[in-house]
Amino acid sequence: MPEVVELREVTDRRDVIHRAVQRLSAGELVALPSEAGYVVAGFALAERVGSRIAAANSTVALLLRAADETADFLPHLSPVGFRLARRCWPGPLVLRASANLANGFWQALPDGTRTAVAVNGELSLRVSSHPVLSEVGKLLRGPLLVREIDGWPADGKFEHAAWRDIVLVVNEGSTAVPATSVVRVDEHGWTAERLGALNEQRLQLAACELLLFVCTGNTCRSPMAEALCRHLLAERLKCSPQELTKHGFAVASAGLAADFGCSASPESVEMMRRRGIDLKAHASHPLTDRLIEHADRCYTMTNHHRNAILETHPETAGRMQVLARDGTDIFDPIGLGWDHYAACAASIEQHLAKILDELL
């Protein structure tokens, strides 16, 4: 029977976390809470752990420290797979994809670990958001193997034979949270093998290619660019703007100095109305680190906007462009009257047509 630590009764979680790390480092199995139920965990670099953690009809996944480690084990993962990892991790998602079992990181794992986690040439990965499981994983010098636990004992007694190999249970109490969502990714897209804490709509949005348009206040140029892009893209894909996510695209806009919730300028609303687009519901949004991180393609109205973003986020250089295809700035028509707004909208539409030619 394993040792049971009641997490709700300890004064310092760090003691429990370090105790779990010590047991795992010694090649023992530990039961830990996760953001979606409990898991049996074992240190992936320890010999013979893989054979002991594997169980019939249960998936064993590699628990990574962070989403940016995905490429170490799945270097040829599709863009959709990397988007799901970037936007859903840490969180209740198991990502499954074909693995190159000859890469260096994979070959560094013991034979038992590779046998347990590679099924039919596919590898399952996850990154936890639970404060205990996540911290335990970060303190180890390699990934964890984790397997979800079925039949957690309601009476708190761990006497069944299934617990024989587990030396430590970190008990957080009974859980009534949804299970992890399991998604298989290949070159054709993604398929939900199990919907759980992440529903189909959330996964569909996370898998989309996000086109982001940025100006200063998000009340004039970038809202028009967002609205026009959504309209023109839907025309080319022969769908409604509301159906773009089903075709793998999402469109958004933001401002470097924007407030939350401001309406688009009256002139911008009128320019879009003339094109059959309703911009009345627009609410301004400041450019956040999260938006920058999630954007697959970011189009700024001016070079100043682009340079300002790159100053704080240089890693986005490959995804950051000015909207104008000739590298010039889209002028700000605010306060300049209807004719300037009309010229600005026409210029944005002209450059968007070229962008969509490249995109599609």
Block residue for tokens 């761990």: 158
The DSSP output letter for 274 is: T
Token pair, residue 236, equals: 């080319």
Whose CA is closest to 360, among 234, 186, 246, 224? 234
- Cβ pair 116, 60 in contact under 8 A: yes
- Concerning whether 221 is annotated as a catalytic residue, the answer is yes
- Concerning whether 290 is annotated as a catalytic residue, the answer is no
DSSP string, 295-337: -SEEEESSHHHHHHHHHH-GGGGGGEEESSTTS------TTS-
- Order of strands across the sheet with 297-300? 249-255, 209-215, 297-300, 320-322
Paired sense of beta strands 118-119 and 122-126, if any: antiparallel
Which residues have a Cβ under 8 Å from the Cβ of 186 and sit 6 or more positions away?
78, 97, 98
SS3 235: helix
Cα(209)–Cα(87) distance, integer angstroms: 11
Cα(323)–Cα(173) distance, integer angstroms: 53
Pinpoint the alpha helices (H) of 99-252: 104-107, 111-117, 131-139, 200-207, 221-237
Handedness of CA 207, 212, 217, 221 (dihedral sign): negative
Catalytic residue, chosen from 72, 165, 296, 332, is 332
Whose CA is closest to 186, among 250, 122, 104? 122
| Backbone phi and psi for residue 114, each to the nearest 5 degrees, phi listed first | -65, -40
The DSSP output letter for 286 is: B
SS3 212: strand
Catalytic residue, chosen from 87, 126, 147, 221, is 221
Catalytic residue, chosen from 215, 220, 229, 344, is 215
What single letter denotes the amino acid at residue 293?
A: E
- Concerning whether 332 is annotated as a catalytic residue, the answer is yes
Cα(273)–Cα(260) distance, integer angstroms: 23
Q: Which residues are the active-site residues?
A: 215, 221, 332
